[in-house]
Amino acid sequence: MTDGRSLGRPAWLGRLPAALAHPLTSDRRLVVAGGATALTYAALILSTFPEFSVQLLARNPGDLLYGVATLTRETYRSVGWIGLGLIVAYALLAGVAATHAVTLSRRARRRNASTLLGVLPGFLAAGCAGCGAGVLGALGFVGAMATLPFDGNLLRLVGLSLLVFFLGRTGDPRTCAIDRAESS
């Protein structure tokens, strides 16, 4: 396997394809990634208007699909395709990150807890992207995101980039990455 750094690219970028392909390495990982993606999308969309979502689901949990559908349209009409696309992209990456977390936590249980610590920054980045996608709404006006640069899309992009970086840094979580420049 070619090391990314030898091609003049950052090492994490070279490992990114393997990281993104990890859910495709077993049926169970694919199912976990799909489930985590769906859950993350629902959570992010519902968090764009938390007051509404809590009321809706408290009255009737069966209205979950109504809430997701309604807020998907509301999000599109508020921030357009770019904002909605960033949320979808984040949900997909969160699905990949979930399979990494399962694999790494198994490794951590077999070896030592320090491996698990490597997962934490990725999840913190995930949380950051979550903020960008909607948790700010819980702290004030639902229109709070509209006051941020590019209607909050810049913040979403930063969160998404952090998640991509941490996924790339992990690479294929079944293997230990060796940075050739540091090891030589």
Partner 1 sequence: MGDERSISRRRAIAGGVGVVALGGSVAYLATRSDSDAGVYVPERSHTSQETTGFGVELAGRPIAGDPDAPVDLYYWTDYLCPFCAQFDQETLPAVGRNHVDTGEVRLVALSYPNIGEYSMPAAVWSRCVWSQVAADDPAAFWRWHASVFEAQPESGTDWADEETFTRITEETEGVPLGAVDDCRTSRTEEIRESMDPNVAVAQSSRIRGTPGFVLYNRETDTAGKLVGAHPYENFADAIEQVLNA
* The binder of partner 1 chosen from 9, 51, 120, 180 (CB under 8 A): 51
Tokens of 137: 């709404």
CA geometry: angle at 179 spanning 178 and 184, to 5°? 105
Beta carbon nearer to partner 1, 46 or 125: 46
Q: Shortest Cβ distance from residue 1 to partner 1 (Å)?
A: 14
User: What residue type is 102 in one-letter code?
Assistant: V
Pattern of binders to partner 1 over 113-132, x per CB under 8 A?
--------------------
Checking 13-17 for CB contacts under 8 A at 24+ apart, the result is: 13/168, 14/168, 15/168, 15/169, 15/170, 15/171, 15/172, 15/177, 16/164, 16/167, 16/168, 16/171
Residue 69 interacts with partner 1 (CB under 8 A): yes or no? yes
Residue selected from 12, 32, 42, 75 as contacting partner 1 according to rule CB under 8 A: 75
Q: CA 126, 96, 51: angle at the middle one, nearest 5?
A: 45
**List 9, 10, 73, 111, residue binding partner 1 (CB under 8 A):** 73
Pick from 24, 117, 120, 154 the residue near partner 1 by CB under 8 A: 24
Of 92 and 155, the one with the shorter C-beta distance to partner 1 is 92
